[in-house]
Amino acid sequence: MARRGKKEDEHENHERWLVSYADFITLLFAFFVVMYSLSSLNEGKYRIMSDSVVNAFRNIANSENPRIVSNPISPIRPSTATPPNAAGETDEARRSKAERVRNMAEEIRKVLAPLVADGQVRVTEGAFGITVEINASVLFAPGYAQLGPDAVRALRAVAQVLAGAEFPITVEGHTDVTPIATPMFPSNWELSAVRASSVVRLFVENGVQPARLTAAGYGDQRPVADNATPDGRARNRRVTILIESRVAEPEPGKPVKASGVADSILPSTALPPQSPAAVPGAAVSEPSAVTPTPGAR
């Protein structure tokens, strides 16, 4: 009886569930803290953390089981592909472009072979593309910007070569320092610009996409020869066709030497333009009247 009364006197604890409940709330709180911290991470940090965890587990597995992976592979493998240049081209693409540029230059030389042999046309290749320099006397009468019949035939052949390519084309008109003042051309700027536009218009009529073409007139500001001599002035009166097919990148930190296309783009510092008045007996090649001078080049 005494033992039975002792059990009845013991107080039974009905609050033990609070311990489990408190543990559950603590775990739930920790879970939401982790979820919140992950939601505040950006993708880059998450990837870094993920890669670190994967590498850590991989190193542990390799150290415990060296026979499983005898040659562990780094998660970041170096690329074996050819790095592209500034234009996003690989070596293979650059070689293909260079081959097309060479073929185009050869085709232009073939269609203009008589003029090339006579020295009236120069076709040069460079890192920036192809330059076709045509003497103005082949294309236009002095003081005019209308193409002659022979010029139209020659330029149509060039247009057929250019029509199948995708390279941008700039047509530049140039004159010598002899001034011109006519109702149609108040200065050499207008004359050079209209001559370039005449060539562009012919190219468009013969299949070259207009979006690829640009016409520019530089007047007498881009000489390639000495304006003090008749031969130099004849050389400066020209139309230059630039096929902008860059096939090489200039080395960083080094100035680009003017050659090929660049010779026609950059002005010459060694040959300053001279006024005909400074040269006694200098021939006037661009007449100041609309009517061309008989026998003029």
Cα 206 to Cα 90, 107, 112, 126, 148, distances in angstroms: 33, 17, 17, 26, 16
Mean pLDDT value across the chain: 75
Domain-embedded: residue 288: no
- Burial zone of 158 (CB within 10 Å; 0-12 exposed, 13-18 middle, 19+ buried): buried
| Residues 147 and 261 both lie in one domain | yes
pLDDT for the residue 53? 67
Give the Cα separation of 7 and 156 in Å (integer).
120
* CA 98 – CA 106 distance, rounded (Å): 12
Whether residue 161 lies inside any domain: the answer is yes
pLDDT digits (tens, 9 = 90+) for 136-164: 999 999 889 999 999 999 999 999 999 98
Predicted pLDDT of residue 6: 53
Residues 106 and 206 in one domain: yes
54 plus 159 within the same structural domain: no
In the 3-class helix/strand/coil scheme, how is the chain assigned residue by residue? Answer: CHHHHHHHHCCCCCCCHHHHHHHHHHHHHHHHHHHHHHHCCCHHHHHHHHHHHHHHHHHHHHHHCCCCCCCCCCCCCCCCCCCCCCCCCCHHHHHHHHHHHHHHHHHHHHHCHHHHHCCCEEEEEECCEEEEEEEHHHHCCCCCCCCCHHHHHHHHHHHHHHHCCCCCEEEEEECCCCCCCCCCCCCHHHHHHHHHHHHHHHHHHCCCCHHHEEEEECCCCCCCCCCCCHHHHHHHCEEEEEECCCCCCCCCCCCCCCCCHHHHHCCCCCCCCCCHHHCCCCCCCCCCCCCCCCCCC
Domain shared by 129 and 42, yes or no: no
In angstroms, the CA 239 to CA 117 distance is 18
Do 47 and 95 fall within a single domain?
no
Structural domain including 65 reads 30-69
Say how far apart CA 230 and CA 219 lie, in whole Å: 17
Same domain flag for 125 and 271: yes
Domain-embedded: residue 76: no
pTM (2 d.p.): 0.55
pLDDT of residue 155: 94
More confident residue, 12 or 123: 123
Q: Do 218 and 181 fall within a single domain?
A: yes
Residues 95 and 237 in one domain: yes
245 in any annotated domain: yes
* Domain-embedded: residue 181: yes
Q: What is the pLDDT of residues 262-295, one digit of tens each?
A: 344 344 444 444 444 443 444 334 443 344 443 3
Q: How confident is the model at residue 15 (pLDDT cuts 50, 70, 90)?
A: confident
- Whether 286 is in a domain gets the answer no
Q: Does residue 219 belong to any structural domain of this protein?
A: yes
Task: Kindly report the CATH number assigned to the domain that includes residue 118.
Answer: 3.30.1330.60
Distance of CA 109 to the CA centre of its chain: 25
Query: CA angle at residue 21 from 15 to 26, to 5 degrees?
Result: 140
Q: Are residues 140 and 274 in the same domain?
A: yes
How far CA 111 is from CA of 61, 87, 103, 120, in Å, comes to 71, 31, 13, 13
Residues 53 and 121 in one domain: no
What is the structure's pLDDT at 177?
94
Between residues 286 and 169, the one the model is more confident about: 169
For residues 141 and 180, the answer to whether their CB atoms sit within 8 Å is no
Count of the separate structural domains present in the chain? 2
Give the Cα separation of 68 and 113 in Å (integer).
71
**46-65 confidence digits (pLDDT tens):** 667 677 767 766 766 555 55
pLDDT band at residue 248 under the 50/70/90 scheme: low
For residues 54 and 152, membership in a common domain is answered with no
Residue 125 maps to a domain: yes
The strand pair at 169-174 and 213-217 is best described as parallel
Tell the burial category of 144 from Cβ atoms under 10 Å away from its Cβ (0-12, 13-18, 19+).
buried
Query: Rounded to 5 degrees, what are φ and ψ at 81?
Result: -75, 155
* Residues 46 and 100 occupy one common structural domain: no
